């Protein structure tokens, strides 16, 4: 998005953020570019193709794309696979496979997956394991996990030192994610005129 803003300021033609060639002018061109990246085993492009399939109700194709992207190491694809197995969309419901994909996503650094593991462990009465998952997710900046830890502190499951360390790490993760470029990007997204002329999607 920072590049897009520079292009706008300099009145330059928008470029693809991946290959830096001129941005596609039609949806067909964008689809063709994404397909090239999918064929080159780009896990993000493969995951995004799966997202398009999912949004169109083609859960089987979404499953195939996310399976490929997860095998290429994409944590978000693992997370989405877990949801498919949880909800039985395009596949039979399977809590073991859901759990495995959540674990893989969490190992890959996916904060929401890590939080969900904490929720599941807590639901099974494994408070110490749930707390560890929440601490890791909070360290990654997950809002729900820091709230879960605060609740655990009130109930006596989380020690004061643990909560204090988690809050400091959570805040550090949030601060690390801040930048002038992100602020500009958020402002750009809130500007309906610019966003309609130069949509991000």
Residue-wise pLDDT tens digits, 141-181: 999 999 999 999 999 999 999 999 999 999 999 998 888 77
Convert the pLDDT of each residue in 45-75 to its tens digit. Answer: 999 999 999 999 999 999 999 999 999 999 9
The mean per-residue pLDDT over the stretch 65-92 comes to 96
CA torsion 28→33→34→38, rounded to 10°? 130
Identify whether the C-beta of residue 65 lies closer than 8 Å to the C-beta of residue 49.
yes
Half-sphere exposure of 94 (CA within 13 A, CB side): 14
Using only the alpha carbons of the chain, give its radius of gyration: 20
Has this prediction a pTM greater than 0.95?
A: no
d(CA 51, CA 53): 5
């Amino acid at each position: 998005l920072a590049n897009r803003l520079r292009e706008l300021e300099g009145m330059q033609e928008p470029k693809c953020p991946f290959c830096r060639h001129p941005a596609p002018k039609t949806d067909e061109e964008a689809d063709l570019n994404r397909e090239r990246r999918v064929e080159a085993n780009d896990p993000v492009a493969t995951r995004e193709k799966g997202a398009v399939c999912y949004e169109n109700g083609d859960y089987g194709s979404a499953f195939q794309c996310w399976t490929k992207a997860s095998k290429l190491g994409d944590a978000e694809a693992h997370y989405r696979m877990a949801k498919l197995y949880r909800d039985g969309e395009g596949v039979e419901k399977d809590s073991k496979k859901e759990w495995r994909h959540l674990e893989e996503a969490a190992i890959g650094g996916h904060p929401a997956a890590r939080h969900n593991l904490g929720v599941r462990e807590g639901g099974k009465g494994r408070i110490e394991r749930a707390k560890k998952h929440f601490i890791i997710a909070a360290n990654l900046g997950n809002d729900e996990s820091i709230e879960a830890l605060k609740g655990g502190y009130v109930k006596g499951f989380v020690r004061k030192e643990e909560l204090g360390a988690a809050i400091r790490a959570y805040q550090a993760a949030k601060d690390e994610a801040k930048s002038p470029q992100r602020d500009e990007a958020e402002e750009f997204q809130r500007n309906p005129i610019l966003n309609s002329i130069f949509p991000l999607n």
